[in-house]
A and B are shown apart, each in its own frame.
Chain A
């Protein structure tokens, strides 16, 4: 009995304190907030902050899963939609736009979006379709001590990296000085997209779905990727972003192009060999072929609100998400991501992404047929990277595979 009393009291206290926490979220009206998004630290933080908005009249649930891209279109197609909020990025918003599954947010921004900055608003045809809250890019991580020992300056281009890698290898400092995530599939295609963006050329003929990578820029990119692979661990074709982070932390490699969102976990005190963290420098993504812009795609992560839900749910969802990405949340968690929110003071893990963005890197393209190209690249470049095919053939294969898919998708 005494135990029961204690439990009741503590539960009551819990409810009261929780209620106090809910109060500052201040959602007007009732509604249900159901979030679908990818599964990484920054998004989990956003989701838990949004969950603070749960109250007697508002329910908040979140599903953070790596399978979000496969879930989002079917889940938002039904009416009412399974999720009210989709956390999206440059690429994953495209299927939602193509199928007309997300709603314009202009009225909600005007009513509840006072804390948002103009550059956070993703506008398509003049209408706000999503709100971005963090940026990400692949950029250069390098070991200052190893480069100093080899007597080379900090690399700023892929050509510098190749020269530095040759020196490090010749000096016997490291067997495999370079690492990149080139596992066939999404990673390999992303690597090509990064480098091709760095050449300044466009993937498609203006205003059409006609592919235009079969040129000297495409060849230059492939040539560079092949040259880099000579300095990589021979198992490079099985390495994704997490594997190269492990290689780097183990002190086996001196330079890698890696996601900015993994920088925090790389330079923390956990998991790294002696001397790796202290000597790690984060820099802008390298340029390519004498170009001036960093060869990396800039990504934003943001949220969009489903179309097939009631206006009350949409209003509640928007308010919960604005609370979740509030300047207060960002001020309390500056190290978790490269936030795009007002008042963000970049931490040491964000310098690489910011240097890449300031260097004028281009955003990952949002054309509706970009996903088809990404898939074509992900399978057709594998043989080239394995060394069993030449660059001309690889580009011709990519074009043939893309054309086949684009015809089936109704774009050509």
Chain B
């Protein structure tokens, strides 16, 4: 294809990508470098139905409007927001490393910082859910592939349900089921003969339920991709393996898995990216006390009575950096494979 034709071909997507992906990211990066102007505060008389009149502090809006007109972005803070306690907390971490009473103390005190607490859960979610969901998806794909043709359609439909349901709704459904009067919660109480057992009260059990939800909701994606991949496994190779006396497990291990490996890389890439942005189950499970994620931190900064755009921007940029770090090994591997094939 001549360069000109190629360029004309991808121009619409290129424009869309710049408008809807590149520019918003640039704006978030710029936003994260600024904080609000110092507020001009004045003391004024303030009267209301309860308690009568008192002297209270107010923001001097006229003075603030002048400041805003001269510098609409706020005041430049450089990387200050990235380094403060709400994010990378360099000075706090430094203080912890300087004075501590052993490794356990260091971990518990760093875990007390909001960013690291969120990062811990985010990473655990990523690295537990991704392999488990892929394994489960692969197992379902193998099972469905072995079914008679008649039953395949309905089974595929049911297997895809977790992916079709809106994540927030899906997490709410599971959350209601694990309540003590829900079907799973009540069954567990009965099974362990412990009427006070509740999956919602301890951090470990909350994490376990969130991870379970993650596997449940992510497995269908792996299943769909692997199932499609299974249709392309060469029948000749499988047959010759059977003639050589390979068992079903050996055929899966030495024929099917190597064949699906490039697909697995692709699925891992997408799933890692998705799981790093875990958010809905935390809200759905009301798990804020025990588990937070980077996306939840952004949500928390932007909701409520006061909105911190700089802080939310900094967390967003750190999330992007995190995704890039996570994907680097997979990308390097893909790049090597690609070069290998070309040669």
Contact = CB atoms under 8 A, between A and B. Distances in A.
Are A and B bound to each other? yes
Interface of A: 69-70, 90-92, 94-95, 97-100, 119-126, 132, 135, 183-186, 207-209, 234-235, 237-238, 298, 300, 340, 357, 361-363, 365-372, 374-375, 378-379, 382-383, 385-386, 388-389, 393, 397, 400-401, 403-405, 407-411
B59 to A, nearest CB: 5
B290 A371 contact: no
A119 B49 contact: yes
Contact of B57 (A185, A368, A382, A383): A368
Interface of B: 35-39, 41-51, 53, 56-59, 61-62, 64-65, 74-75, 77, 81, 84-86, 92, 112, 114, 179-180, 196, 198, 200-201, 203, 286, 288-290, 292, 300, 303-306, 308, 310-311
A378 B38 contact: no
3 closest residue pairs by CB, A with B: A371-B305, A100-B61, A410-B36
A235 B49 contact: no
Contact of A100 (B36, B50, B65, B292): B65
A383 B46 CA distance: 36
A91 B65 CA distance: 22
A234 B196 contact: yes
B304 A408 contact: no
A237 B57 contact: no
Nearest to A183: B286
B49 A374 contact: no
B310 A121 contact: no
B168 to A, nearest CB: 15
Given A124-B46, A410-B36, A371 B304 contact: yes
Contacts of A185: 288
B51 A401 contact: no
Given A300-B50, A404-B85, A207 B200 contact: no
B15 to A, nearest CB: 27
| B112, B114, B196, B200: most-surrounded residue (chain A CB, <10 A) | B112
Contacts of A389: 112
A378 B306 CA distance: 13
Contacts of B308: 405, 408-409
Contacts of B56: 365-367
17 contacts: A90-B48, A91-B305, A97-B61, A123-B47, A124-B47, A209-B41, A235-B200, A300-B48, A366-B56, A375-B305, A379-B292, A383-B289, A397-B112, A401-B85, A408-B84, A408-B86, A410-B38
B51 A363 contact: yes
Given A235-B198, A357-B50, A378-B304, A408 B311 contact: yes
Contacts of B48: 90, 122-123, 132, 300, 363, 366
Contacts, number: 168
Given A100-B61, A363-B50, A375-B306, 12 more contacts: A124-B44, A124-B45, A184-B288, A207-B57, A235-B180, A368-B39, A371-B305, A382-B290, A408-B35, A408-B36, A410-B35, A410-B39
A392 to B, nearest CB: 12
B44 to A, nearest CB: 4
A409 B180 contact: no
Nearest to A186: B304
Contacts of B36: 408-410
Given A121-B47, A408-B311, A410-B36, A401 B86 contact: yes
A105 B304 CA distance: 27
A389 B117 CA distance: 14
Contacts of A393: 112
Given A91-B305, A97-B59, A100-B61, A407 B46 contact: no
A388 B46 contact: no
B310 A386 contact: no
Contacts of A208: 41, 57
B50 A135 contact: yes
Contact of A368 (B59, B112, B179, B289): B59
A100 to B, nearest CB: 4
A124 B58 contact: yes
A373 to B, nearest CB: 9
A95 B305 contact: yes
Contacts of B37: 410
A125 B45 contact: yes
A238 B61 contact: no
Contacts of B85: 400-401, 403-404
A370 B304 CA distance: 11
A97 to B, nearest CB: 7
A120 B200 CA distance: 43
A237 B202 CA distance: 10
B105 to A, nearest CB: 13
Contacts of A367: 56-57
B116 to A, nearest CB: 13
A120 B297 CA distance: 38
Contacts of A123: 45-48, 53
